[in-house]
Amino acid sequence: MARDPNPAGEERLRDADRSQSTILAAARDEFAEHGLGGARVDRIAERAGLNKRLIYYYFEDKEKLFQAVLEHAYRDIRTEELKLRLLELDPATAVRRLMEFTWNYYLAHPEFITLLNSANLHKARHLDESETARALNSPVIETLAGVLERGRREGVFRGGVDPVHLYVSIAGLAYFYLSNSYTLSAIFGRDLLAPRARAERLSHMTDVILGYLSRS
């Protein structure tokens, strides 16, 4: 029952859109901070500076709101990914570029990580119901496949690399470090989020992936 904004009445329409965006941003922050179970609709309303009732008016309930937040989060990262133009770079640079992007995106959008964790805790049922999910079937995989293929043809990359697995590995090397930085820091007794540590991580990650891919 999403509002369908119809043309007439520009002013009002803009308000409706703005309200929805404000709610989405507030919800994203709240969900990111507390997870789906720990998030409070009251707090979302407060953060948004809007009446709680309005949240239900536009998003029906907490679950649907979470779904909307999730879809937006995906849309956002995909949009950025598309700007990378990896195919215009030489294979090694392209992979490096993708890793930097991934790393920096996660750093700049820590909420993305916690949102995904929440989504997975709930077995991604918020994506199942979402038509958008399918559409998100990231074209980055195809791009990456292209990069790998070219690297292999040019003799710089090994062959037989599954682009999905590689993509997951790149993401995983960054994601896990950041997602679990608190427990890891506690256990290893060193602050993994210190600037120096962060730089080292990106460097290590890149070494791992390029070390693996490179044909001596």
Footprint of DNA on this chain (CB under 7 A)?
3, 5-6, 9, 11-13, 15-16, 19, 39-42, 50-54, 56-57, 61-63
DSSP string computed for 25-79: HHHHHHHHHHHHHH--HHHHHHHHTS-HHHHHHHHSSHHHHHHHHHHHHHHHHHH
Tell the smallest beta-carbon distance from residue 84 to a copy of itself (Å): 18
Question: Residue 133's binding partner, choosing from DNA, a copy of itself, none, with beta-carbon cut-off 5 to 8 A by kind?
Answer: a copy of itself
21 or 120, CB closer to a copy of itself?
Answer: 120
Return the residues of window 21-80 that contact a copy of itself according to CB under 8 A. Answer: 34-39, 74
Tell the smallest beta-carbon distance from residue 122 to DNA (Å): 14
Question: Residue 19's binding partner, choosing from DNA, a copy of itself, none, with beta-carbon cut-off 5 to 8 A by kind?
Answer: DNA
Tell the smallest beta-carbon distance from residue 110 to a copy of itself (Å): 11
Binding segment (CB under 8 A) for a copy of itself, from list 14-22, 61-69, 89-97, 197-205: 197-205
Instruction: Work out which of 27, 45, 127, 148 binds a copy of itself, going by CB under 8 A.
Output: 127
85-92 contacts, C-beta under 8 A, 24 or more apart? 86/143, 86/144, 86/146, 86/147, 87/143, 87/146, 87/147, 91/147, 91/148, 91/150, 91/151, 91/154, 91/156, 91/157, 92/151, 92/156, 92/157, 92/210, 92/213, 92/214
Q: What is the largest CA-CA distance in the chain?
A: 64
